[in-house]
Amino acid sequence: MVIKSTARTATVSALALALAAAPAVAQEACKSVTLKNPAVKLDEIYRTAETHAKAWKPDVVPARMSNTILGPLKPDGSSEAWTISFFSASANAHVAVNTFRGGLNCWAQAGGAGRLPDLKPGFVVDGSKLYEIARQHGDKFLADGYFVQIGTPAAPSNRHATWNIQFSKADGKTAPILIIVDANTGKVEQVLRN
């Protein structure tokens, strides 16, 4: 009797452990929609994403914003491929609002969203300004066929929020330059060159 019970307990425990270790499954957080224009400006997509995220969980804060290699930043500050992520402390979960060539979807997943940038009210979401900064410091890369990618990391020590601007090609090659812009003021902090 004891052996069967121990074996059953071990089996149930192993199954519970396997399920607990399994990666969390993302769940749809908003209905997919088709956008009026596939190329959406940064300020517009941020407002749209924030609306969807707050409908999911009202306490969300921005976690990450970036365009992807499939949607280069254009001079007017638009892209066809954005990922805007938010974190909800009350749910201990994050939601990603993604666009790609005219489609928008939202997916939520349990767990943290990494280091959250210290974004202040009114932080910079002017994509054309960020493109202009990229052009000022990297026009030779643009002329050589590179395109602009932007993203908002948070500094490890104090969560200082920046826009990191880099230049990439479709094959994944990146230019030897990184422009770091204060995400709250829009001022260039550093231009790093290899």
Of 3 and 178, more confident: 178
C-alpha span between 123 and 161 (Å, rounded):
9
Q: What pLDDT digit, counting tens, does each position of 94-141 carry? A: 999 999 999 999 999 998 888 999 999 999 999 999 999 999 999 999
Confidence at residue 26, expressed as pLDDT on a 0 to 100 scale: 73
- Radius of gyration from C-alpha coordinates of the chain: 21
Instruction: List the single range of 1-10, 55-64, 144-153, 155-164 with lowest mean pLDDT.
Output: 1-10
C-alpha span between 20 and 134 (Å, rounded):
45
Other Cβ atoms less than 10 A from the Cβ of 6: the count is 10
Band of the pLDDT at 24, cuts 50, 70, 90?
low
Confidence at residue 9, expressed as pLDDT on a 0 to 100 scale: 36
Q: Cα 111 to the chain's mean position, in Å?
A: 15
Above 70 in pLDDT, residue 84?
A: yes
Confidence at residue 29, expressed as pLDDT on a 0 to 100 scale: 87
Mean pLDDT of 132-160: 95
| Residues above pLDDT 90, as percent of the chain | 76
Going along the chain, which residue ranges are E strands? Answer: 27-34, 40-41, 61-67, 78-79, 82-88, 93-100, 103-110, 147-151, 162-168, 174-182, 188-193
Confidence at residue 8, expressed as pLDDT on a 0 to 100 scale: 42
Confidence at residue 16, expressed as pLDDT on a 0 to 100 scale: 38
Mean pLDDT of 152-169: 94
> What burial letters (b/e) apply to 51-80, b meaning 16+ CB within 10 Å?
ebbeebbeebebbbbbbbeebbbbeebbbb
